[in-house]
Amino acid sequence: MTHAFDKEYWEHHWDDRTSRTVAANPYLVQETAGSMPGTALDAGCGAGAEAIWLAEQGWRVTGADISAAALDTAAKQARSAGVDVTWIEADLTTWNPTDRWDLVTTHYAHPSIPQLDFYRHIAQWVAPGGSLLIVGHLHDRGHHHSHDGEPPHEATVTATDITALFDASSWRIDTALERSRTVGGTGVHSKTLRDAVVRVTRRN
């Protein structure tokens, strides 16, 4: 690992950003279609595209991130969109909220602790009957070193790795997918993203 993926790393990451995603993650859109809006937590919300989209759909949303710079951008974007989101600056690897949410969602958040430990930790915050949606970078079985523009190896997972965290007596597995998609239009700016997508629901 070349970075610690700690607060300093992420503040620098967000300070440097000149372009920010405005469209919500397509798997969030797909996986919440047909759900009744309730309370939602976006864990590692970055510049807020997903949290803002959920608020626009009627969810009562908390967006949490370790980076103050990311949350500053997110809050500005929410104001422009005319939606209310509660923004919380927190290191989610040690955060212990008393709240529980109907939906906990996370997209590509990779903290300094092992990726699967992070997912296990945030799963505690799902209310009975609520869901956890995880969108992570898919582990490339052939590669052990990441190159420029690729996700760091230690942040990658498979859908099977993730579903193995959830025992069947407490969780129902609704979705477990591994998919590729192209972003950034066509030509030199296009990029293929390979994702692991898992949605589980906590049994009552």
Ligand X SMILES: C[S@@+](CC[C@H](N)C(=O)[O-])C[C@H]1O[C@@H](n2cnc3c(N)ncnc32)[C@H](O)[C@@H]1O
Residue with tokens 């969810």: 59
Half-sphere exposure for 110 (CA within 13 Å, toward CB) = 19
Span near ligand X by CB under 6 A; candidates 61-69, 123-131, 157-165, 166-174: 61-69
Q: Considering beta carbons, is residue 91 or 178 the nearer one to ligand X?
A: 91
Is 65 near ligand X (CB under 6 A)? yes
Residue 200 — φ and ψ, nearest 5°? -130, 150
User: 89 - beta bridge partners?
Assistant: 65
46 binds ligand X (CB under 6 A): yes
- Cβ distance to ligand X smaller for residue 66 or 103: 66
Q: How many CA atoms lie within 13 A of 108 on its CB side?
A: 19
Name the residue number minimizing CB distance to ligand X: 46
Q: Is residue 21 a contact residue for ligand X (CB under 6 A)?
A: yes
Binds ligand X by CB under 6 A, chosen from 66, 132, 138, 200: 66
- Residue 1 or residue 203: which is nearer to ligand X going by CB? 1
Strand, coil or helix: what is 196? strand
Residue 168 Cβ vs ligand X, minimum distance, rounded to whole Å: 28
Distances (CA, A) of 53 to 47, 68, 138, 175: 12, 20, 24, 21
Backbone φ and ψ for 86, nearest 5 degrees, come out as -90, 120
32 binds ligand X (CB under 6 A): no
Nearest distance from C-beta of residue 67 to ligand X, angstroms:
4
- The distance of closest approach from Cβ of residue 196 to ligand X in the complex, given in angstroms and rounded to an integer, is 14
Cα–Cα dist 131/155, whole Å: 22
Of the residues 32, 62, 67, 115, which one makes contact with ligand X according to CB under 6 A: 67
Structure tokens at 148: 């420029």
Residue in the structure block whose two tokens are 């798997």: 27
Closer of 9 and 35 to ligand X (Cβ): 9
Contact 148, 129 (CB under 8 A): no
Contact between 91 and ligand X per CB under 6 A: yes
The site for ligand X (CB under 6 A) is made up of 5, 10, 21, 25, 44-46, 65-67, 70, 91-93, 107-109, 111
